[in-house]
Amino acid sequence: MQRVTGVVQHYAWGDPVFIPHLLGVEPDGQPWAELWLGTHPNGPSRLADGTPLADVTGQLPYLLKVLAAGEPLSLQTHPNADQARDGHARGIYPDPNPKPELLCALTPFQALCGVRPVEATLALLDELGIDRLARVVAADGPGAALAGLYRGSIDPLPAIEACVAHADERLEAEWAAKLAARYPGEPSVAATLLLNLVVLEPGQCLRLDAGNLHGYLHGAGIELMGNSDNVIRGGLTVKHVDVDELLAVVDPTPLADPVLAEANAYELPAAGVSLHRIGPGDTHVATGHELAVDLAGSTWYAAPGDEVAPAEVTYIVTR
């Protein structure tokens, strides 16, 4: 294997210490949100001698990241392959590729992930006394409730006020109240009540396929995704939002259990890759151009045929 140098992204929601500590450098006061490993033009990696990784591998179909969220990210979703091509042609997306994702927690990690099953949502809304939103979910489903919030036919304020009043009783209400303090009156605050709130322990993993409405709230993890930066935001951000495209792309099908069964390998079929976790005593032979990050903060490139025998727990992308 060869050492590879990634690119740090200093987005405002980043944690100022996790990635610096992982890499063994002093924090500088900036938010260190993501460390990118791959060939994406917005953050191309280089080998230790300065050679662009893409000169050796060509354009990789995936992007590997370390993500550290000190503050909540936007509520967002990503297009499938057809939607990405069509949206790119219309000037909506910066590239024509889908962006499926895996997120494996390195610390306790909280996230919103996919639409919660209807009965569980109705129970939550009943507990919080949010009647109007509950009636729409019961009668027409969570997709109609999302559309009503974003189109303005459902006032989000009663749901937000109920969450503020009950913030010490349910984690869902606590997060909605925190988000409302940052983004007063936003429909996306009420929309979080329709989504699964997930608390991951280190080693647990989520897969976010196309159309999954999600938002990372707090924590650090390893992220594997398609080689794309196509994001459609509904809110909880100062960045551009596109409600029309969000509602066209989002998949309101309830997701009963967002957390994947614990394993040493997690597949990301839409990108044709998998994320493997290997440790001391394990060996692995690369079958393609593979990138890896270990928990001592080293980042690696493995060429086809290279043997990987890590001294630390290592996450590696295989094809």
Question: Mind telling me the catalytic residues?
Answer: 233
DSSP β-ladder status, 214-226 and 101-105: antiparallel
Burial-class residue 2 by CB neighbours within 10 Å (0-12, 13-18, 19+): middle
| Terminal Cα distance for the chain, rounded | 16
| Rg over CA atoms, the chain | 20
Beta bridge partners of 75: 235
Residue 190, class by beta-carbon neighbours within 10 Å (0-12 exposed, 13-18 middle, 19+ buried)? buried
In eight-state DSSP terms, residue 100 is -
Residue with tokens 């979910």: 137
Distance between CA atoms of 17 and 4, rounded to whole angstroms? 21
Contact 319, 290 (CB under 8 A): yes
Let me know how long the chain is. Answer: 319
Whose tokens are 């969570």? That residue is 142
The set of residues, in sequence order, having a beta carbon less than 8 Å from that of 282 and lying 6+ positions away, is: 309, 310
Q: Could you give the CA distance from residue 121 to residue 293 in angstroms, rounded to a whole number?
A: 38
Torsion of CA 147, 150, 155, 156, to 10 degrees: 110
Chain-centroid distance, C-alpha 302: 25
| HSE-CB of 253 using CA atoms within 13 angstroms | 8
